[in-house]
Structure formats: C-alpha cells, structure tokens
Structure 1
Amino acid sequence: MNEISAELQDVLMKEKRWTPKAFNLLGVEIENMSIRIPLWKNHARVFRMDRTKRKGRVLHPSGTVADLFGDYQSGEVFLVEGEWDVLAAVERGLNHTVCGTNGAGCFNRKMAKALNGKSVTIIYDNDLAGARGSAKAAAMLLSENCEVRNISLEGHVKAKGDLREFLNTPTGSIEKLLKIIEGFNWMEKEETETNKTKALIAHQLSNVKEEKTEFIWQPRIPKGCPTVLVGDPGVGKSYLTAWIAAQVTKGAPLTLDDSNFAPGNVLIFNMEDSLTSTIVGRVRTAGADLSKVWVVNDKVLLSIEGMRAIRSLIEKYQPALVVFDPLTSVIGSETQMNSANDVRDKMEFFIEISREFKLAVLVVMHSNKGADHRDLIHRALGSIDFVGAVRSMMLVVKSPGDSSIKLVGHVKANLTAPASTLFYQISETEGVQMLESRNESLESILGQEEAQNRNQGAVDEAVEHMQSLLKDGPLNSSEFQRLCLEVGISAATIKRARPLIAKTRKVVNPSKKRGAGCAYHITYLKKDEAKFGKLEHVELVEKFGIGSADEHFQQSHVSQISLTPEES
C-alpha cells in the first residue's frame, strides 16, 4: 500500500491544493498524457486523458487486482467510491478515507475483513451504480461486525456526482459533510438485503405453473412489463395517454375487440404540462373518472430517493397503470441517452415496478426524426436499449396524406402478434376520436400513403404541363400523348391526369366499319378558369379514317361551336 507520508501531508496543508510536488511525493507519474497512480506495491491505476475530446477514461492494467487504497488504520474510516474521492478527502483533512479500487461494485470480502470491527461511513457516488455498490459493501461490513452508515449525497450534488465534486463546490466543506453524515443513523443487519450470499435457483419447468399475460389494452399494453409510446413532439402523445387513462378508470374497452374490465387507478408523472390549465382539462375531456387519476406534477428523478418515492406512491394508490410522460423528464439531464449502460439502469426500474406490483407501465418517448418508416423500431430517441428493455412498443405518427389524422402502430410485440394499426383524430372539445382500424402494419400503410403522395405529386406536375400544352387550343390525341411522353411523363400518369383537364367525346363513322372512326376530343381547361378566363367556345376536331365506304365522310373539317364547360 502507498502511504500518505508526513512530508506529503505537510505540502498539502501549506499549499491547500495538489501541486506537482505533492503528486511526486505520492508517486504519481505522468507520461504521454497518462497519469499513473500507485495503488499498492507493483501495481498502478491509469487515468488516460484524451486532449481532443476533453474526456478521460480509467484503464485497468494487466494484472491489476481490486484492493483498498488509502489509510484505514484508524478505528473510524470513510469508505468512498474512487481514488479521486480519496485524494480530495485527504486534501481537506479527512485522512482516514479509503476506497476499493476498480469501481463501485468491486468491494469484496477481503476488503471487508481488512476493516473488521471498525466504524465505517460509506459515501458512494449519487447514481444507481453507487447505490448498489454501497448496499453491497454495507452488507459485507455488517457481517464483519462493523458499525456502518450509508450516506447519500442526493440533493447536495447533481446526478452521478461524487464526494470530490461536493468538496470542490464553493459551499462544500468537511464541516458541511459531517453535518450531512449526522443525519444518517447507524445501520442494523436487518436493513440490508444481501447479508448472506444468495443462492441461485434453477426451476424445473415441469413444476412451473404457467400464467397468461394480462393486458390493460390487448395486445398493446401488458401488465408486468413496461411499454413505450414513441412519437414526434406535438403529434398528440399526451392526448392519447389521457384517453388510455380515461378508459382504465372506467373499465371501458379501448377498442372494439376488447372486453370490459374492472376500473382501476392511474398514476401519471407529468412535469412538463401545467396541472391546472392543461392536464386536468385534457383528462376530463377524455371522459376519465377524475377520482381515480393521480398526477405527480413536481420534479422527480430516477435517483435512489426518487425511486423510493415512486414506489411509495404506487404502494399508496395501487394503480393499474403508471404513466411517465415524457421519459426525459424523469431520467435527468445527466443520463447519456445513447449509452446502453445508462439506459439499462433506468429501464430496469420500470421492469422491476411493473413485475413487483403487477401493473402496466407506459413510458412516453420522443422519436428520432432521422429514422425513416422502413426502420420504425429505431424511431425511439436514444439507445436501442430503450426499446430492447420493453416487450411492447407503439409508434404515433401523422398521416402523410392528412396531418390531422394520427396513426398508432404496434411496431414491437414480443408477447403476441402485433395489433392492428389505428387511425384517430384529436378534438379540443372531445379529445381522441378513433376513426378506423386496419389489419396492416404501420410500415405498410406509411409506405402506401407516401407512394400515393409521390404519385399525386407526379400527377400535379403532369396537369400543369398539359395545361400549358392546351392553352392555345386543342391537340390531336396522338400528338398530345407524344408531347407529354417527350418531357418524361409516363403513360400511366397521363391516363390519371387527363380527366382532370379534358372532356373526351367519341365520334364514330356512320358507316360503322371497323377502323373507319376514332376518338376525338372536345378539350377545355377544367382548372384555372380565373387564370385563363371563362371558355365560351371550344374547337371540335373531327377526322374520319381514309378508306371509309361513305366518301361523304372522307374529309377533314373544323367547325366552331359555342359551348361552355357545363354544356359540354
């Protein structure tokens, strides 16, 4: 073990900070932007700094074994999570501070035995890993006859903050830390859940009684596992969740193929909308029994204290459905949305409460606009682990053809076959109004509608070109077709566009001989009458086939007739 010598303590007391001299006395070496901190004999922990990214990462050299770092010879010891916390505490005079090397979860029986019989105050980082690591360490220390206090810095540092951060703030001091510690009691062995090593249990499936999955909204929202509802901001996700909540409070079927069920309470966490001017009106408009709806409008994060508070509310109100709207308001700004580890830590809580209380959890998320309709499962913002952790995912989008119509697709279904795609509208006075249900996937419907929109765009362009061709007078059918094809308009598009601009009449040779007559057009513009003026007359072109039996009709002539579009 490296010891903090009297000379090093003297330097720290005089300089009040870590100087190059102090680091040298500790044995720290700096080479190629890697800081090597001696932890015990013949081993070192490496902190490598990347100048370009301004981020550091900790490396564990080959042969590194987790051990205690710091002075623990005193009868009273402070156990912290990392080496930098130890250095910061010692710098401020809290000399008997130690940590287990290699991270929050590294504390083991060997370290606990080294602290046998001591009074240990645990101060781990303010995050889920810190909470789990400190609980594990507390259980081991209690089994070694230690007095243990487990201190939380929540409310004093931001999420993922640590002791070093606390001591480096303008208001942070050892005196303030000691006052915080005084507010925590010494633990009893019964307070820990891991005093004994938990044996793994393997279940023989022949002895397991199978249970069917229950649903709040079959098959979209199951009980016992979380569901995510994804959509762009402003698409109406909160209106939909209010409508779902209303049906749960009434025990009413959500779709025609559902059956009635027992009414239940709903617990909604919504910190973004106003409780009085938005939420209560929206839920009332949806037709909910307001006596069964409970709303948390105050800020709460998925920290240790926050998760305890959420569990307490669930135990108190016994909801059938819990809604977190949106997810970003409860996971905190410190959570890395694209980090699988961060995401899994948060989603595990939703999994735990849904299983423990046998309820439905609906997590509302914003969508990633970068993903297209061919990859809908990736539309959830952030790491794919958000979707990977749930058994069901719904996606809300606007109809490409009519933005007032919303579509709800069941894009992930691990427990059943995917549900049908729903179409609905939102009314300020009536809330969500379901329009229809199609037994098609959302991918298929979006693809069809977008193809239709692309086709309609081609037709509109064709109509505009046809208008320009015909504004000076009628054209022979074959010539008209040729001019359209020359500019890249397909024959199919010509066929769809022609009825929008032309009235077609057929003139047949009176001889009725095959090939003696053909189709001709009375052509006028149906569109842009204001632009081109009212058409008082059109030209009727008649041309009969050569070789007709009746020579009287073997001629071409153009006659002027007075017709309005309505008369024609």
Structure 2
Amino acid sequence: MSAVIERETPQQAARRFSAGAIRDGFQPQALHCYTDESGDALFWRMRANNPATGEKWIRPMHLEGGEFVMGEPAFDEGKPIYRLHEIAGHPDAPVFVVEGEGCADALVKASLIATTSGGAGSAAAADWSPLAGRAITIWPDNDEPGQQYAVDVAERLRALGCTVRVIDVAALDLDPKGDAVDWLAVNPGATADDVLALPCLPCLPHQTAEPQTPRHVSRCMADIKSVPVRWLWPGRIARGKLTIVAGMPGLGKSQITASMASVVTSGGLWPVDRSRAGSGSVIFLTAEDDAADTLRPRLEAAGAVLTRVYVLDAVRAADREGRPFERGFDLTRDLDALADLIDTIGDVRLVVIDPITAYLGATDSHRNAEVRAVLAPLAALAAKYDVAVVAVSHLNKSGGADALSRVTGSLAFVAAARAAFIVAKDPADPDRRLFLPVKNNIGPDGDGLAYRIEAATVGDIHTSQVAWGSERVTMTAGAALAAIESRGSERGEDDAPQRGEAEAWLRDALAAGAVASKELKHLARADSVAWRTIERAKKALGVMARKHGFGDEARWSWELPADEDRHTDKDRHRTPPTPDDVAAFAESEATSPFVERVSAKAATAQGLGGLRGDDGGLRGCTADEYAKARGAF
C-alpha cells in the first residue's frame, strides 16, 4: 500500500521560504492570498518586517506542479488585484482601493469591499479591468508616494469608466505615512457608513479640476527642435540615458566602473580613442563592495579625484512614531532621495548602481511589467538631470550565443537601456577580458575593448585596477560567449567561479532544512543556475539525498550534512524567546501545526532558538507555541 504524502500548506511553505529572513531579525506579519474571480488561489505574498530597523521583507510564492515555488506565475494581462473574488461577488458595491494588502484587510473587517495592487509603485503592473464602471474610493497613505499612487490608480480607473473619489487624508488628522489601518485603530467603533462618509478631495492631488474624459498630450514634430546626443563616453555611454554593463562574477565589472569614475572626476582621457571627458562628480550605489576596504582603494589606484566621488549608503526615514532610522536604498520608492543628492552635489555626470538587482525592493526581476515600472522613472531621472546611469548586472548561465538574453532577469533591463555591454573572458587568452557592445540604440555599432586586471598597492592596501588595451576588438559578444561555452563543454567542466556560486546558492537554499529536489530545480531555473553545476555543488558539499514514499508517490529531498554549519554568529548569540514572548503572539493567525511537539534542537535549527523553561534552561515546545512564536507564518 502506498504511503500518503501530506501536502505542504501555504503557511508551512512561507515559514520555509522566510527562514533566512527570520534568522536576520525579521518577524512574520502576514500571508496574503491573491485569488481569481472564482476564489481559487493564484499566488501568495509573504510579508515580514524588522522591528529594529523598520525594513520590510516581501516575497511572492505560488504553486507549480503541486509544489510551492518562489515568485509569481506569469499573467498575460497584468497582475490580478487583491481580493478579486469579493469584488466579483458584490458587483454593485462601492470598492475601496488602498496601498497595501493590510489596509485592504482592515477595511474588509469593517464590512467594506477593498482591494489593492500592492505597494505605491505597483499600479502600472496591475490589471484593473475587473473594476470597470464601478464606484471607487481611493484611500492613499499620508505621504507623497501615497498621493502619487492615488493619481496613478485614478488615471487608470477613469479610463475604464469608473467614478473615482479620493479621501482627503489631510483632514483625518493622521500622522505622516498614516493609512487606513492607523485611522481604524484610533476609531475602533467606526462602521462602514462612517468610512463611506469620510471627506474626499474636490480633485486629485497635484491636479486641477478637469473633465474626467482622458485628454491627449501631444506635440507636432515640426515644433520639436533636434538636439544631438550628449555623450559621457563618446559613442558608448550617453548622458541622460541608462546603460547596462553585465558579466559573470570575477571579471572586473566593478573595476571598470572605478576606471570610468577616474576618467570622469579627473576630466581624463577615455581608453583607445583618447577623447577627453567633461569633468564632474560620480555617485556610487554599491551593494556588494565595501566602500572602505574595496571601493576606495580601487578608486585611488585608478586615479579618481576622491572629493568628487560620493557613496549613497542609505536613506533616512521615520517610523510611524516619527523616530528616525536608516534603511537601504530602494529604486521603487527612493528616487527622490537620489535626485536630492544630485541636486546637492550640483555637477554629477555619472551614477553607478552595482548591482541594480540589489535595489529593486519587492520587484520581481523576472517580470517585464514590474521591471519596466521601476526603470522608466529611473530613465526619466537620468534625462532630467542629464546624468549617465550605469547599471551593473550579472549574466545567467542559460547558454547560447544570444548575448541579449544572457543578462540576468527580465529582458526589460536591456530593453530600457539605450546601450548595453557584456564583460567576458577572451576565449584565446584566459588573462584578458573583453568589454563588448551588445546594443546601442543611439550611437554607431562600435567595436569592443580589451583589458586586464592588474594588482595594485595603495599604501599598505592591496587592490586591483583595469589596464585597458590599446587596440579595438572586433569580436562580437555573441561569438565570445559561444566560444567560452564551447571550450567549457569540451573540457567537461564549469569555471571555478560558477562552481563557487552554485555551492553558495545551494548552501543558502538548504539553510532552513530539507527541500524537495523538484523545488530546487524550479528555484535554480528561476535564478538561471545550471542544474549540472548544482549537482556538482551537491557532491562538493556532501549534500544528502533522501527518498520519501514509494512507487509513483515517491519523492526526493536534499539536505545539508549534519556537520554543516547552518547558522551565523548572529544566530548563535540570539536571545531565545521566553514564554512571555510566545504569549505575545496569542492573537496571531498562524496555521494549525502539522506536528505535535518540537524539540529544543529542532526549534533552534528552525531559527526559533528554543524556549526557556522555569529553570532557565532550553526546553522543547508544543506545536502551538512553535507556530505562535514564529508569527503570521
């Protein structure tokens, strides 16, 4: 008789996916389910926050082949809006549109119909058509992104024939960034009629009262004055435009940006063609290289003028109580902060974002619509301030000679850029690197360049720098990548950097415990990591494969060996929660546990850290305590 395999619940999957974030201090807040009009689940959005820093952790997941995987499924007409089944089930009811699932849930508890597309920058990627012709009230957050979200949503809904009102949040006496949840918290007895009676604006924020019929904005071409492209690096990188530089790790992409910064800040000469750069300042957003021990030494070695180089480390914000804190820069909501820095410096010519995928917030980098929604405002900022924005990215390992498709993530990255370059090894010389164009919409189809990475010393610090070759390279990016892949295939081996990346990827994927091998394949495919490289990493790490069940229902899982260190020093020194901590979660909506009891060792391995008994020692915990202490997941 075949064994019965219990399916993983959404809550269990969310706990597994969020294990790393929880170990880093994040606390689960909610698991939001997006449905179709019939109420069938389409995907879930996990949400957690870090009470110490105010940071948010938001990730989607969905079912694929009967198993939960990270990411959203593909939607041809845009992402569905939240609580779609309730909208369809009440066709005559007014609908509230808010910013964020939590606000929608709060209004639903007040017996109203409410929805959202997600965060403040999500309106463009959503499918609003189910609201066509409906009466809509938009309740924005009490901040500038909230007001802009109201404008973005209202424009789309009015085009669908909706009647749109916008609540006047300034009249609600809310704190900065206050939202519907905050208002309901101070008005606990408010009814649906009370909410419907809230004051509304006579017109949209930042707009004058106009007819609701959409009006065109156009210009006659005869009235448009032709202007030449303004170049930072003539023929290669333009001012006022977005440029992508992509390549595998370890090939010197960051050293190239340091070399660019040297030329710009010193008004020096560009490689090979020896044209002189107009001097100016440079801003770096760098998530992978430390400014003190890596970036500055490289800049010094390259000869950059350090007084003209700035690093955007973080954004200073305030929590709901007005207490200041710093958080990481996010392209989806912090472009005003970047614009303010550009204004403050005054002569910025170049902005380097390295890598761009580290600054996308909750954006799914594989979704074209979401990536376009992030890059379009960034391109507009580049044009407004006449600065060149160089975004560094990685290459996926999918293979093939189509260089454009090798840039990690959505093709929207390359589509939005006016120029794109690939960094690759020279197939004929393993110590030589190539800087090759794959796209240039505004300049000639130029040749590539060659360079080597040379050791350098700054004081007593060892670093590296780019040494550009003196001749142009005529090999195309596609030919270079195909030749490199062919050589690797003939040798039957991957490059060492790829193996190291795969080992780090696999160790991270298995950090929370055993994972189904089928799910690992889905995750590897999403991250463009070759499965053959993962299998080599499995052997190198001593990963154990276990079989569960028999016959057609059998499945395999992978897990790290028992002696593999799964915890950071921060995990080992975290103070375990007390029974009082557990009680604080008594009101959480955690799912019913699927085990009866969790040992102290197992609880510690899952990031809970164990519980303290009356004698102060570690003890196990019941499944109820375990689920509650883990929070909303």
Q: TM-score, normalised by structure 1?
A: 0.55
- Matched residue, 1:296: 312
Q: How does 1:356-371 map to 2 (within 5 A)?
A: 356-371=384-399
- Say whether the 8 Å CA contact 1:339–1:383 is kept in structure 2: yes
Sort the Cα spacing of 1:434 and 1:100 in 2 relative to 1 into closer, same or farther, 3 A.
closer
Q: Provide the residue aligned with 2:351 in structure 1.
A: 322
Label 1:79 to 1:407 Cα distance change in 2 as closer, same or farther (>3 A): closer
Partner of 2:248: 232
CA contact (8 A) 1:121 1:150 kept: no
User: Cα offset for 1:187?
Assistant: 8.2
Q: Work out which of the residue numbers 36, 40, 49 in structure 2 matches 1:48.
A: 40
Three-state SS of the structure 1 residue aligned to 2:235 is coil
- d(CA) in 2 for partners of 1:145, 1:337: 31
Instruction: Identify which of 416, 434, 444 aligns with 2:468.
Output: 434
Deviations 1:164-207 (Å, cap 9, x if unpaired)? xxx7xxxx9953899xxxxxxx9897952575467423333233
2:480 aligned partner: 446
1:58-85 C-alpha deviation (Å, 9 max, x unpaired): 5979x979978468xxxxxx75258985
The 8 Å contact of residues 246 and 283 in structure 1, kept in 2 or not, is answered as yes
Q: Deviations over 1:506-542 (max 9, x none)?
A: xxxxxxxxxxxxxxxxxxxxxxxxxxxxxxxxxxxxx
Q: CA deviation at 1:223?
A: 1.5
CA distance in 2, matches of 1:251, 1:340: 37
Distance 2:425 2:487 in 1: 14
Counterpart of 2:233 in structure 1 is 217
> What percentage of residue pairs aligned between the two structures are identical?
23
Q: 1:147 to 1:213 in 2, by over 3 A?
A: same
| Correspondence list, 1:149-168, <5 A | 149=170
**Structure 1 residues 247 and 69: alpha-carbon distance in aligned structure 2, compared to 1, 3 A threshold:** farther
The answer on whether the counterparts of 1:401 and 1:449 sit within 8 Å (CA) in structure 2 is no
Residue in structure 2 matched with residue 192 of structure 1 by the alignment: 206
**1:80 maps onto 2:98 in alignment:** yes
| Aligned residues: CA RMSD | 4.8
Amino acid in structure 2 at the alignment position of 1:229: V
| Amino acid in structure 2 at the alignment position of 1:192 | H
SS of equivalent to 1:247: helix
Superposed displacement of residue 331, structure 1: 0.7
2:450 aligned residue (423, 431, 448):
423
**Is contact 1:243–1:432 with CA below 8 Å preserved after alignment?**
yes
Q: 1:175 matched to which residue of 2?
A: 185
- The alignment partner of 1:350 has SS state of helix
1:259-298 correspondence runs (5 A): 259-298=275-314
Tell me if the contact between 1:80 and 1:98 (Cα under 8 Å) persists in the aligned partners: yes
Q: Contact conserved, 2:167 with 2:201, CA < 8 A, in 1?
A: no
* Residue 274 of structure 1: how far off its partner (Å): 1.4
Range that drifts further, 102-111 or 337-346? 102-111
Cα deviation, 1:446-484, whole Å, max 9, x if unaligned, reads 279669979x99xxxxxxxxxxxxxxxxxxxxxxxxxxx
> 1: distance between equivalents of 2:201 and 2:468?
55
In structure 1, distance between residues paired with 2:250 and 2:471: 22
Structure 1 Cα separation of the partners of residues 482 and 34 of structure 2: 56
1:245 is displaced (CA, Å) by: 0.9
Q: Which amino acid aligns with 1:413?
A: N
1:387-466 matched pairs, under 5 angstroms? 387-429=414-456, 431-443=465-477, 446=480
Distance, in Å, in 2 between the alignment partners of 1:315 and 1:352 is 15
1:91-170 aligned at under 5 Å gives the runs 91=109, 94=110, 98=114, 121-123=139-141, 132-136=148-152, 147-149=168-170
Partner of residue 12, structure 2: none
Task: Output the amino acid matched with 1:331.
Answer: L
How far is 1:416 from its partner?
1.9
For residue 385 of structure 1, report the CA deviation from its aligned partner: 1.2
Residue 555 (structure 1) aligns with: none
Secondary structure at 2:279 match in 1:
coil
What CA distance in whole angstroms lies between the structure 2 residues aligned with 1:175 and 1:260?
61
- Aligned with 2:107 (options 80, 89, 98): 89
Distance 1:201 1:342 in 2: 25
Deviation sequence 1:275-328 (CA, Å, 0-9, x none):
211111111111111111111133211232x22212211222231111101112
Q: 1:450 to 1:278 in 2, by over 3 A?
A: closer
Preserved contact between residue 393 and residue 412 of structure 1 (Cα < 8 Å): yes
**Is contact 1:149–1:187 with CA below 8 Å preserved after alignment?**
no
Query: 1:105-163 CA distances to partner (integer Å, 9 max, x unpaired)?
Result: 67999767x76xxxx74249x998x7754234679999979634499x9x999xxxx98
Query: Distance in 1 between the 2:475 and 2:384 partners?
Result: 33
Aligned residues of 1:367 and 1:379 also touching (Cα < 8 A): yes
Partner of 1:341: 369
Structure 1 residue ranges without an equivalent (≥5):
1-32, 37-44, 72-77, 179-185, 458-568
Aligned length: 379
Residues 212/367 of structure 1: CA separation in 2 closer, same or farther (3 Å cut): same
Q: Distance in 2 between matches of 1:386 and 1:397?
A: 19
Work out whether residues 122 and 150 of structure 1, in 8 Å CA contact, stay in contact via their aligned partners in 2. Answer: no
* SS at 1:276 equivalent: helix
Q: Deviations over 1:476-499 (max 9, x none)?
A: xxxxxxxxxxxxxxxxxxxxxxxx
Inter-partner Cα distance in structure 2 for 1:273 and 1:138: 41
Counterparts of 1:436 and 1:145, CA distance in 2:
61
How many Å separate the matches in 2 of 1:243 and 1:303? 28
SS at match of 1:46: coil
CA–CA separation in structure 1 for the residues paired with 2:296 and 2:201: 43
State the one-letter code of the partner of 1:414: N
Q: Distance in 2 between matches of 1:106 and 1:282?
A: 52
TM-score, with length taken from structure 2: 0.50
CA separation in 1, counterparts of 2:102 and 2:204? 32
SS at match of 2:38: strand
Partner of 2:497: none
Q: Which amino acid is 1:249 matched to? A: T
CA drift at 1:243: 0.4
Partner of 1:531: none
Question: Based on CA coordinates, which of the two structures has the bigger radius of gyration?
Answer: 1
CA distance in 2, matches of 1:448, 1:49: 42
1:365 offset after TM fit, Å? 0.3
1:311 equivalenced with 2:345 (yes/no): no
CA distance in 1, matches of 2:171, 2:258: 40
Pairwise CA distance, 1:253: 2.2
Counterpart position of 1:473:
none
| Structure 1 residues 65 and 438, CA gap change in structure 2 (3 angstroms) | farther
User: Take 2:144 and 2:40, find their aligned partners in 1: how far apart are those partners?
Assistant: 23
Write the distance in 2 (CA, Å) between the matches of 1:123 and 1:320: 34
| Among 229, 236, 259, the residue aligned to 1:243 | 259
Q: Tell me if structure 2 keeps the 8 A contact 1:229–1:395.
A: yes
